[in-house]
Amino acid sequence: MIVDDMLLTPGAVRDAERWTAHNYHPLPVVISSAEGAWVTDVDGKRYLDCLAGYSALNFGHRHPKLIATAHEQLDRLTLTSRAFIHDQFADFCHELADLCGTELVLPMNTGAEAVETAIKVARKWGYQVKGVPAGQATIVVADGNFHGRTTTIISFSTDPDARNDFGPYTPGFRIVPYGDLTALAEAIDETTVAVLLEPIQGEQGVVVPPTGYLPGVRQLCTEQNVLFLADEIQSGLGRTGATFALDHEGVKPDMYLLGKALGGGIVPVSAVAADKSVLGVLRPGEHGSTFGGNPLACAVATEVVRLLATGDFQRRSAELGARLHTALGGLVGEGLVAVRGRGLWAGIDIDPSLMTGRQACERLAARGVLAKDTHGSTIRLAPPLVVEPEELDFAVEQLRAILS
């Protein structure tokens, strides 16, 4: 029999809490290895990963092709800086541009850096191409957004935890209700250079806007000569059953903001993709990053783009997503208040009289399923796209068990 004081987890949790700033509140699970959709903790307990690194692990843990590519690249060349060109760079930019249907790509590392890149490019485009008076550019964003944690990005967050006590805030942003085209139209004026939106708001609880909203945003942006910046960092690259969440409504933005899954769960890779008329405004020295577009990142991310180019992951996400949403729909009224989402991505609201989202995640973890609460009683489910149908059924069964 295993008794608690023989377990490694409690000590490992204590050490992690002792030596780090408390900017996260993780579940008390200490993972030491993983493969596919499963992770194993330091005590040998296995869990089905239903978070997938907030979509950074769309292809599962240690996808064999991605790991082989990373090993091969580690043995040849890892970093050059952008002072020189390396042999993995052009293929990555070219193949990602093809996947996005754009002319150019600009690689960075984290999602927040992709967002910062988009903001800088949109402002410069506004001054140089649209003719906005110097220093006047405005960008319209949505209530409930999550675009990252830098000081500029949290300046237009509506989440007090993300924002309070971190001012003074960067000016130049207008916040409108998500899903409301009239409010968006009213917020746009001659100073507006861009509308920055998540096609589905992940952090907010996988909130899908009303049908027709995203095409309406596209039309407004075109009519008003405003750039549509689509933050597909969490929603993109297969998660929703299409390459991009915007594909479901046949919408093409002026710029895609990508991250998370682009790094194959191995390295941080982000990028923005747009045409020359937009990204062409940048000149040497105006933007960059030491690690952005490094050889290891490019090699892995090129392989990611090739996995996506087959369409297999998107199809899998659509098919298994239908199975997941049907099963979850059956729990509405049985402990769940609402289910939202698209593809292998679901935001579920637990009846708050039963338990908090945190408690639900703790109970799921005890039953071998990892998920994470977002706001209050909302949990996000985003298993890797390699998950098997029976594994999804297992996850839903554990959810049913903790709700009953």
Contact residues for ligand PLP, defined by CB under 6 A: 54, 110-112, 115, 146-148, 198, 202-203, 231, 233-234, 259
Task: Please identify, using beta-carbon distances, which residue of 236 and 295 lies nearer to ligand PLP.
Answer: 236
Q: From the CB of 288, what's the least distance to ligand PLP, in Å?
A: 17
Task: Please identify, using beta-carbon distances, which residue of 203 and 373 lies nearer to ligand PLP.
Answer: 203
Structure tokens at 326: 């049907």
Exposed e or buried b for every residue in 198-227, given b needs 16+ CB within 10 A?
A: bbbbbbbbbbbbeeebbebbbebbeeeebb
Give the separation between CA 192 and CA 401, rounded to whole angstroms.
Answer: 50
Q: From the CB of 114, what's the least distance to ligand PLP, in Å?
A: 7
Residue 146 falls in the annotated catalytic set: yes
> End-to-end distance of the chain based on CA atoms, in angstroms?
29
Q: From the candidates 41, 49, 231, 373, which is the catalytic residue?
A: 231
Q: From the CB of 332, what's the least distance to ligand PLP, in Å?
A: 25
Name residue 356's amino acid: T
Q: How many other CB atoms are found less than 10 A from the CB of residue 191?
A: 16
Q: With contact defined as beta carbons under 8 Å apart, do 385 and 313 qualify? A: yes
Q: From the candidates 146, 173, 228, 313, which is the catalytic residue?
A: 146
Residue 231: partners with Cβ closer than 8 Å, 6 or more residues away: 111, 115, 118, 147, 196, 197, 198, 199, 257
Task: Please identify, using beta-carbon distances, which residue of 140 and 331 lies nearer to ligand PLP.
Answer: 140
Length in residues, the chain: 404
Q: From the CB of 12, what's the least distance to ligand PLP, in Å?
A: 24
Residue nearest to ligand PLP (CB): 111
Task: Please identify, using beta-carbon distances, which residue of 269 and 298 lies nearer to ligand PLP.
Answer: 269
Q: From the candidates 173, 260, 349, 373, which is the catalytic residue?
A: 260
Task: Please identify, using beta-carbon distances, which residue of 100 and 327 lies nearer to ligand PLP.
Answer: 100
Identify the CA nearest to 52 among candidates 40, 43, 44, 60.
60
Q: From the CB of 403, what's the least distance to ligand PLP, in Å?
A: 27
Residue 295: partners with Cβ closer than 8 Å, 6 or more residues away: 73, 76, 77, 78, 79, 80, 86, 87, 88, 89
- Known catalytic residues are 146, 231, 260
